[in-house]
Each structure stands twice: as C-alpha cells, then as structure tokens.
Amino acid sequence: MLLLFVSILIYSMSFAQQKTVTGTVIDDSTNEPLPGVTVVVTGTTNGTVSNFDGEYTLDVEQGQTLSFSFIGYSAQQVLIGSENTINIALAVDMEQLEEVVVIGYGQVKKADATGSVTAISSDDFNAGAIITPLDLISGKVAGVQITSGGGAPGEGVRIRIRGGSSLSASNTPLFVIDGVPVDNDGIAGMRSPLSTIHPADIETFTILKDASATAIYGSRASNGVVIITTKKGTKGRPMKISYNGNVSLSLIAESDVFNADEFRNLIVDRYGSGSAAVSELGTANTNWQEQVFREAISHDHNLSITGSVADQPYRASIGYTDQQGILLHSGLNRYTGTVGVNPSFFDGLLNINANFKGMYIQNNFSNQGAMGAAASFDPTQPIYDEASPYGGYFTWTNSDGTPNSRAGTNPVALLDQGLAENMSDVYRGIGNLQIDYKFHFLPELRANLNVGADYSSSEGYNLVQENAPWSYDIVNGGGTDSEYTQDKKNELLDFYLNYVKDVE
C-alpha cells in the first residue's frame, strides 16, 4: 500500500508540472509580431513555430528552458516557472546584419548582396573526420546537393547547385580558392581537385547560385560558383600556434552471402549429388569478403601558426593525412602547406593578400572489381593453389588450361597481382597576389589587381603481373605495363574598378 501511495504521489506531482504555455513573439523595436520564430524546449525535440500573428502554444514542464530563435535576431532563453503566458520581444542582431560575404568583385554586406548568395563560416562546418573539403558543408546549404563520388581514399564528391542543367556536359560548378579559379578536371592520378586544401585551413564557403551573382566569371560559372576562402592572420594579434588532429576507424558491412556449407547444399539441391557441378566444388571454407576488406585506420594532422610582425598579419600551416582504404592495399598520403600574408598600408587604403598553397599526394589504387568478386566467388575454393601457373592463386580454367573469363576471378588475386604497382604521385601549387587600392581622393572608387597561377604535375604507373589471370592473352601472353605523366598550368591576370556609394 505504501509503495502504491508513493507511486501515485510521484505521478500526480509529475502530472501537475506539465502544462501548456502560450505567448506572442514581437520585434522589440517595432512591436510588430514575428511569424516563423522557432520555439524549442532546450535539450529536447519538443518545439513549435510562431504563427502569422507571432503567437505560439507549446506543452512544457515547469523548470524547463524555452529557446526563441529567428534569423537576424538575437536568440533568447527563458526558464519556465509557474506562469502560463510567456511573451518575448526579440532584438535585432546587428552582427548578423553586418555579416559580409565574398563574391566575385570583393566583399559586400550580406544584406546588400544581389543575387542568390549563401555563406557558410567555420562555426557552422560539419564536425568529425573530414578529408574532403566539401564534406564540411554537406547538408548545410539549401539547393546544393553534395554526394560521395565513391569510397576510395581521397575520393572527391559530386556537387550540384540547383540540379543539373545538361545530360552530356559537365554540371560541376566553378571552384575559386582565395581568388584563383581552379581546374575542375584535376589531373591524372588525382581523385579530387580540391585535395589541394586541408579542411582545417578553410575559413568560409560562399555559394553563388544564379546568373546575377556569377556574372563576373562568365560561362565558366554556368553551373554556379563555390568560393573558398582560407584562414588568415589578424592584425595586432600575438603569435598563436594551433594543432588539430584526429584518428578514425572505417568499417564496411559485409554482404549477406552463403558460406561454404550453405553453398554446397544449394548446389546439391539444385543439380543433384552426382552432378558435374558438385564435382567442381572445393573443400575450403573461404570468406572472400574478409580477405579483401579491412578495418581501415586513418589519421589526420594540421599545425598552424598565426600572428603579426610590425602589425602586419601572417599565417602558415602544414598538414598530413594518412587515409587507409577499407579495400586492401588502397590508401592515400597527403602533405599540404600554406603561407599567407595580408598587410595593409596608407591607413588601410592599400591592402595586399599574398597566398601560396602546396600539396603532395601519393595514391595507392586497388582493383575495385575485387569488391564484386568477393560477394560472388565460390566460397568452397581456396585462396591459393600451388599447382596454379597464375601466380599460385586458385583460378578457374578451361580444358586447355587458359583462364575461364566467364567463371569470375579470384578476388585476392585481383588485389595482390596488381598490388603496389598501381600508384601515382601528384604535386600541385596554387598562389596569387591580390592588390586592392582605394583612391584617397575618391574613397568610393577602388582598383583591384589579382595575379595568380595554378600548377600541377603527376606521374604514375600501373604494372600487372604477367601471370595475372584476368590479363591473360593466349596470343600475346599476359600482363600490362603502363606509365603516364601530365602537367597542367592555369594562369590568372584579373583587374577591375569598383565604385560604391551609398545614396540616402
């Protein structure tokens, strides 16, 4: 009886604390109602939105905290007491209104920007083990779709701004890094053209979506523009050293396939115990997926130094990324470095931005056909066969001893026989000098000169062993040996005059 009484008392007290709160949200300067204000109980998913008249209704518990937020206004939090009506006046957040965005012809206040422009700062970036820069803003921008280009180490992502516009031509937007348009096609042996930048060095992304915002870039910007601005030093700040690092573990969920015993039973049931198909079965119990996949451990590091000398700011950084692939033997090693100075002279009339970014990447490629082969190859067969002339790997053969191309290829052989012979080394450097001058006799007029260059070079080779079964040719023998080199350069010379005057 006592336990029942206590339970009823606790339930009654809890029930008594639950109530419905109503109220109105207004602008504190105009007293006008604010529709669309988000009202949420802090730490929960319980929330609502104010209606056209600024009114809201929400079921809450006493002692909880209500949070009121609206774009362009400072958020407020209120502790729920005994009252049933909570009216809120939100104040305009001048810092948000004064926020600037980077566009093709300089910086403007976000409120004054024409065209469709979205800016994402480092405070809003996605957290976690980020290797590719665009992963920082995945899911953060309306109308922008970012999807993975694949699971290989250093693999780029696919980005579409307001969907694709062509079935045959490229739908990739133009990327501009610190004022330098970069080659979207990248270079041979490099999975992503944006691998040049370490994600920890990025300050903001600005997405230009429509024709009015992208006009200065011409036809190259027909699919939109992604402007990437890297971090810079701050005038008057003392020297500061920062380190960012992470270690990550990548796993893959194996496909649900038959093991050896289940596969044998299937063949016996289907063809009969005395059939030729049963006679071809082996005695092994091989989990091919365990043989080609691994638990991939990756680590990433970035060390930066910022400060100012003689009141002139600077920033430098170095980064290292070691990313293992979940497919055996695949991987990426990336070394990055940046140096930037942005001094100003003549009371801020002359501003200079000088930036250089360098990168070296070593890629190890694996035959991705091994993934499909691991899910379909006969689990009753062994990995190795000492009598096999094809590198000692079990291989299905025809009556004349040549590889049976229709029977599938040993997944381990696909990886090992082209192992460390499928590699590339890529070097890339991007630098620019941007000079911006406001005329002292006419401060509304400024001249901007931007000189930059984007150089990249790659070399790689792919050597497949002569006894690899998938490359066997009965006439010419087997194996392949190919090498490639490529050099690219893009140079920039850009000058414009900009006149801005506020008219009352």
Same domain, 22 and 140: no
Same domain, 103 and 86: no
Last residue of a domain, one of 230, 258, 283: 230
- Taking 90 as the threshold, does the pLDDT of residue 338 lie above it? yes
Same domain, 334 and 249: yes
Name the residue with higher pLDDT: 266 or 500. 266
pLDDT tens string 159-184? 888 776 666 667 788 888 988 888 77
What mean pLDDT comes out for the span 187-208?
A: 83
Domain span including residue 198? 96-230
Name the residue with higher pLDDT: 93 or 94. 93
Q: Whole-number mean pLDDT of the chain?
A: 83
Q: Does residue 504 belong to any structural domain of this protein?
A: no
pLDDT at 467: 82
Q: What is the CATH number of the domain that holds 129?
A: 2.170.130.10
Q: Residue 10 — pLDDT band, cuts 50, 70, 90?
A: very low
Q: Does residue 22 belong to any structural domain of this protein?
A: yes
pLDDT tens string 12-27? 344 446 889 999 999 8
Same domain, 226 and 348: no
pLDDT at 375: 92
Q: Does residue 112 belong to any structural domain of this protein?
A: yes
Q: Residue 458 — pLDDT band, cuts 50, 70, 90?
A: very high
Residue located via tokens 């971090």? 231
Pairing label, strands 38-41, 480-499: unpaired
Name the residue with higher pLDDT: 221 or 62. 62
Nearest to 291 by CA among 203, 377, 360: 377
pLDDT tens string 365-417? 888 889 999 999 999 999 999 988 888 999 999 888 888 888 889 999 999 88
User: What's the total number of domains in the chain?
Assistant: 3
Same domain, 32 and 114: no
- What does residue 301 show for φ and ψ, rounded to 5 degrees? -140, 145
Percent of the chain with pLDDT over 70: 87
Same domain, 363 and 492: yes
Last residue of a domain, one of 94, 117, 135: 94
Same domain, 297 and 330: yes
pLDDT at 450: 94
- Written in H, E and C, the secondary structure of 278-317 is HHCCCCCCCCHHHHHECCEEEEEEEEEEEEEECCEEEEEE
In eight-state DSSP terms, residue 494 is: E
Q: Residue 110 — pLDDT band, cuts 50, 70, 90?
A: low
User: Picking from 2-6, 149-153, 466-470, 490-494, which range would have the lowest pLDDT averaged per residue?
Assistant: 2-6
pTM of the model: 0.73
Last residue of a domain, one of 94, 120, 144: 94
Contact criterion met (CB below 8 Å) for 333 and 154: no
Same domain, 256 and 123: no
- Taking 90 as the threshold, does the pLDDT of residue 430 lie above it? yes
The C-alpha atoms of residue 474 and residue 397 are separated, in whole angstroms, by 13
